[in-house]
Chains A and B, each alone.
Chain A
């Protein structure tokens, strides 16, 4: 019998440890005692429990409103985790305001074995009207020490019933248990998606639930004698419920050079597909990319903007008289828009100022400017169309949603191919989009809203090539360099030097290497955006060679040597993005100095980067009194996934290693003793 009792007791003890009580206030001693997270020892804090409930409520005066209830229980393990004791709730204000309500928050500490509670005082909740559209409610919890557990509960009531913000499923600290319930009346049909780039997806359970509410209203009736009558009715409909219940969600780990970390977090995206109210037709919002594009085309004024030509006709006519070639027309009109209009820094596919005001005032957002460009080109009988796309900070459009786009450019389609244009960037030539517009695919909208995908990510190789003629003496190095930049290299050059004079450019070129002096600097084609840039200059390197004993050691690429591997981490979770595919060529002729001979040179090699990723070629030839060094690095594509990281890192290692090998020259005269004194110069 005794055995039996013990057995029973054990079972109870075992289960009581594992079954947590997630009701507000039921924080356990175990939760307070724990010193580190059970699976993630590095975690500074953890979300022990988070419940988020989103549902619709019916307000008799204002109709539907959307309510979000949040309850969080957070454990703080150490001082680095103290930031999690501060909460920020950001809401929209504007035409109508969202509201934060019912904030309740408590800190729990274990003091001499007893659980002590300290409540958040209402006076310690601060509201900041950040700007016209954003209000932040902010507070920090009292009595926080290492080991504290905090609980926070609040509600957000929103009048914006057709929009559900992305619901987070992952943070930079682990989540032990997460519950999400989204309950939506049958009148609103949403689709919901996991973020495909996240390390995991969640299962969404779907169910149905009724909504019943008796409402009464005072109504005016009667024709001649006005009567007030109280009427009651019932609101009765079905709701769709989406539930997520997930445990042990790992922390989102940060890494450098990730385009946007939040793009890789797990979350759910909600997009309104259509509304169907009783006795009303279905109102479509979005379903397919075709539908999304069409609705944008019709609803937000793209069509109108493209058809509006009166205000610029004269200017465009004057500009293109006598020109019939569509490319020539495009060149002229693209230049006109860039000269006349400046970008106000805002993305967007919705015209803000309108094309007319944009042209008149000289300023607008991306949609204003590029729609103006498209309208002008169309007026000039060039086959131009707007292209919707998503900037890197907006993520990659994976599902048919309007939120998948936030930018607009213009495309000209010719039998020879497509030309992408973005007139927001004064340094961008034709087919030279700024970085913000080079994200995956864009959706081109042709006549009457039909649409198709086009590539906006660069696939063509851009090239820089430099030729140097170099003379060496133990005192230093003199040389002449010619450098050419094409494609996106030329654009990058213009971008980096946009507000500089030629003297400034020369100065920054000198400043890049502390031991290099640059003179006789010449720059060609800098102003003519779209064409290749050439520069040449004389240089003098003060300590570019090592003179040790009677030998001279030199790295033949001099200041063009790649000294460090840009990839230092051992592994990588996220893909690697280069700005664009590229080729870097260096051709160097070195005159062997009088009285010296070549002792050794690095071996020539060719290294491939995977199957199709790129190539590194390096060769040295001694020809009479000249050494000719040819180094070429080619990166054939711009995106490498994380499995290719090791190959990429090794490829760069090879480049660094080879470019750092030295050529050894030795004095031919036997009188080495007098040279010894030179050692250490």
Chain B
């Protein structure tokens, strides 16, 4: 009954929305213009679940773009494929006074395929408004209707779409005439004016007068603080496969049974090949290591996605034959090979890239990547990234570390966390002797050991051509001029997962000339600098996503005829964010013609309140100041 009353209200209310037509820019409240590149004037999204396999979504979106950076917020576009059909699409462009400039009918929208360049083929296409703005601000009014059969993906409500965008009014309705059981969760409503008129089966939200967020460095992810409503229906459909789930256990079971189970058959030839390879191996880990190497040597990453192929792995036998697959196919293939040797392993869904969890508290289809979990009794599970031909065994790096994943077991889904690399694991350790010459240049013997998330960058570097390696170092160490490399070597320990770079190189400029003195920058190579801007009015919390340790030991050997004039003092600064220790001393047996510097910089993982930002700035200042400390040496032979 309530929903009917609401409908009545809506029909009365609608004309007033539409009569505010043309949306002149001077009607925008000035408070919404601060920090904004775009303003959502009106955005109504109505999702109607006609059935578990028929969801209709109507959008009426009016957005004013204030400047060039705001163009990406026009979003007058629809993605479509075999199971999402565009029923209607049109747009009108207004100038800043609300005068109509141009009208786009359905056929005027540009149509093209739409998938990332690393994917060989996917069915996804996009139909978008291709409008070249002639002046700013301008306003786009957009209407669309789409119909999807995949009700597993009802999209959540995110009325504030990103940084630098304000919202005059944004509303959302879920209409659910079939009364399919619904779950939803509201988040981050504290600072937002949200009105709601929900009933048991229907949702109705609106947000108004929301000022744009300004980006702040080291911010936690946008979705962790933006207002949102997560939602899902308990009975759903994906490409003709129906399901029912209210929690992760059920959802994981559904995924396992319908998408993953029964995909792991492989030919007896391959099994016997694997069996003979692992014959000598004694422990589970040794066997798994051999199998992982086999997968790395015999497959590569290629993604092809038709229909349900976007969610279902290719058959293991097919991957075996073709020698390629996407993350799902390769993970499932590795799982099948493990199984053939009696090793139990699990297909695990994750978000790759920037840290993002599979939401432990809200069950719905999530994730964009798959990795393989091999449980061990002592709890130190093994984790395999099956799409890489180069990663060491049991190495996730910063692509999938420290986050919640959905592990699919035959008995159901489980949310577990991947291993974290802490400041004890993420280490770069430099040991370097620097022979200075009398004209500001130097010759260096350099060694650096990298572990944890740092391993990956150097692991990739070692495979590049020597010319590119030189380019990498020259760019990294730009302030050292005219570098000449005599030798570049790598020592890769894939079992311990640490890699050492050994270089000898020389450069024309290190010391700064000041008459017959030279200033020597004592942090020969500055590791771990964080560029932060001054911000005395920090609004939101800040975070350091991973702890890291940098340890340097530099020995400077003075040129003939020079002596140390001034050395800076030692320094120790400890804070909740980390610490810096800097020691400098004159050394070298009798002549004291050496300067020895040790430096240790630690960043700790954590999230802090905005009030702590001043302290953090101070910490960074201390670090930068320490990194810039110089010694003065004097040419005594001339005086």
| Distance between A139 CB and nearest chain B CB, rounded to angstroms | 8
Q: Is A143 an interface residue (CB 8 A)?
A: yes
Q: For the complex, what is the distance from the CA of A86 to the CA of B440, rounded to whole Å?
A: 51
Residues of A within 8 A of B475 (CB): 568
B contact residues, range: 35 or more
Q: Is B533 an interface residue (CB 8 A)?
A: yes
Whether A124 pairs with B513 at a CB distance below 8 angstroms is no
Residues of A within 8 A of B517 (CB): 600, 664
Indicate with 1 or 0, residue by residue over A633-671, a CB within 8 angstroms of chain B CB atoms.
000000000000000000001001100111110000000
Q: Quick one: which of A342, A499, A663 contacts B68, CB cutoff 8 A?
A: A499
- Contact segment of B234-242, B256-264, B397-405, B626-634: B626-634
Residues of A within 8 A of B67 (CB): 499
- Contact segment of A29-37, A128-136, A263-271: A128-136
Q: Given A128-B113, A563-B479, decide whether A79 and B514 contact each other with a Cβ distance below 8 A.
A: no
| Distance between B256 CB and nearest chain A CB, rounded to angstroms | 27
- Contact segment of B195-203, B346-354, B566-574: B566-574
Whether B514 pairs with A132 at a CB distance below 8 angstroms is no
Q: Which residue of A lies closest to B134 (CB)?
A: A342
| Distance between B451 CB and nearest chain A CB, rounded to angstroms | 24
Q: Is A560 an interface residue (CB 8 A)?
A: no
Within 8 A of A (CB), among B304-333: 304, 321-324
- Contact segment of A202-210, A464-472, A545-553: A545-553
Whether B479 pairs with A145 at a CB distance below 8 angstroms is no
Indicate with 1 or 0, residue by residue over B538-550, a CB within 8 angstroms of chain A CB atoms.
0000000000000
Q: Is B390 an interface residue (CB 8 A)?
A: yes
**Total inter-chain residue pairs, C-beta < 8 Å:** 140
How many of A's residues come within 8 Å of B, CB to CB?
63
| Distance between B566 CB and nearest chain A CB, rounded to angstroms | 5
Q: Is B224 an interface residue (CB 8 A)?
A: no
Whether A130 pairs with B134 at a CB distance below 8 angstroms is no
Whether A553 pairs with B519 at a CB distance below 8 angstroms is yes
Whether A661 pairs with B300 at a CB distance below 8 angstroms is no
Q: Is A565 an interface residue (CB 8 A)?
A: yes
Q: Quick one: which of B120, B463, B571 contacts A138, CB cutoff 8 A?
A: B120
Q: For the complex, what is the distance from the CA of A290 to the CA of B270, rounded to whole Å?
A: 68
Q: Is A389 an interface residue (CB 8 A)?
A: no
Q: For the complex, what is the distance from the CA of A386 to the CA of B262, rounded to whole Å?
A: 69
Whether A548 pairs with B632 at a CB distance below 8 angstroms is yes
Whether A664 pairs with B515 at a CB distance below 8 angstroms is yes
Q: Is A42 an interface residue (CB 8 A)?
A: yes
Indicate with 1 or 0, residue by residue over B98-131, a CB within 8 angstroms of chain A CB atoms.
0000100000001111000000110000000000
Residues of B within 8 A of A570 (CB): 470, 484
Residues of B within 8 A of A341 (CB): 134
Q: Quick one: which of B323, B389, B478, B534 contacts A564, CB cutoff 8 A?
A: B478
Residues of B within 8 A of A361 (CB): 102
Whether B513 pairs with A602 at a CB distance below 8 angstroms is yes
| Distance between B74 CB and nearest chain A CB, rounded to angstroms | 15
Residues of B within 8 A of A143 (CB): 321-323
Within 8 A of B (CB), among A140-186: 140, 142-146
Whether B323 pairs with A144 at a CB distance below 8 angstroms is yes
Q: Quick one: which of B471, B484, B568, B569 contacts A256, CB cutoff 8 A?
A: B471
Q: Given A86-B302, A565-B482, A600-B514, decide whether A653 and B533 contact each other with a Cβ distance below 8 A.
A: no
Q: Which residue of B lies closest to A679 (CB)?
A: B568
Q: Which residue of A lies closest to B67 (CB)?
A: A499
Whether B625 pairs with A662 at a CB distance below 8 angstroms is no
Q: Given A80-B463, A662-B514, decide whether A548 and B568 contact each other with a Cβ distance below 8 A.
A: yes
Whether B512 pairs with A511 at a CB distance below 8 angstroms is no
Residues of A within 8 A of B515 (CB): 599-601, 664
Q: Given A126-B304, A549-B632, decide whether A565 and B481 contact each other with a Cβ distance below 8 A.
A: yes
Q: Quick one: which of A140, A342, A511 contacts B533, CB cutoff 8 A?
A: A511
Q: Given A142-B324, A549-B566, decide whether A128 and B121 contact each other with a Cβ distance below 8 A.
A: yes
Q: Is B637 an interface residue (CB 8 A)?
A: no
Whether B120 pairs with A564 at a CB distance below 8 angstroms is no
Q: For the complex, what is the distance from the CA of A143 to the CA of B465, rounded to whole Å?
A: 26
Whether B132 pairs with A363 at a CB distance below 8 angstroms is yes
Within 8 A of A (CB), among B508-544: 508-509, 512-517, 519, 531-534
Q: Which residue of A lies closest to B298 (CB)?
A: A145
Q: Given A131-B112, A145-B323, decide whether A662 and B300 contact each other with a Cβ distance below 8 A.
A: no
Whether A132 pairs with B111 at a CB distance below 8 angstroms is yes
**Hey, which bits of chain B sit against chain A, CB under 8 A?**
67-69, 102, 110-113, 120-121, 132-136, 297-298, 300, 302, 304, 321-324, 389-390, 440, 463, 465, 470-471, 474-475, 478-479, 481-484, 508-509, 512-517, 519, 531-534, 565-566, 568-569, 571, 625, 628-630, 632
For the complex of A and B, the 8 pairs showing the least CB-CB separation, nearest first, are: A600-B515, A126-B121, A342-B134, A662-B514, A680-B568, A131-B112, A568-B474, A142-B322
Question: 20 new A-B pairs (CB below 8 Å) besides A131-B113, A568-B478?
Answer: A86-B120, A130-B113, A131-B112, A138-B120, A138-B121, A140-B120, A144-B300, A144-B324, A342-B132, A342-B134, A344-B132, A514-B531, A548-B519, A549-B566, A549-B632, A564-B478, A568-B471, A568-B475, A599-B515, A664-B514
**Hey, which bits of chain A sit against chain B, CB under 8 A?**
42, 79-80, 82, 85-86, 118, 124, 126, 128-132, 138-140, 142-146, 256, 341-345, 361-363, 498-499, 511, 514, 543, 546, 548-549, 551, 553, 555, 563-565, 568-570, 599-602, 653, 656-657, 660-664, 679-681
Provide 11 A-B residue pairs closer than 8 Å at the C-beta atoms, listed in order of the A residue: A85-B300, A126-B120, A129-B113, A143-B321, A144-B300, A549-B565, A555-B512, A563-B478, A601-B515, A656-B481, A664-B517
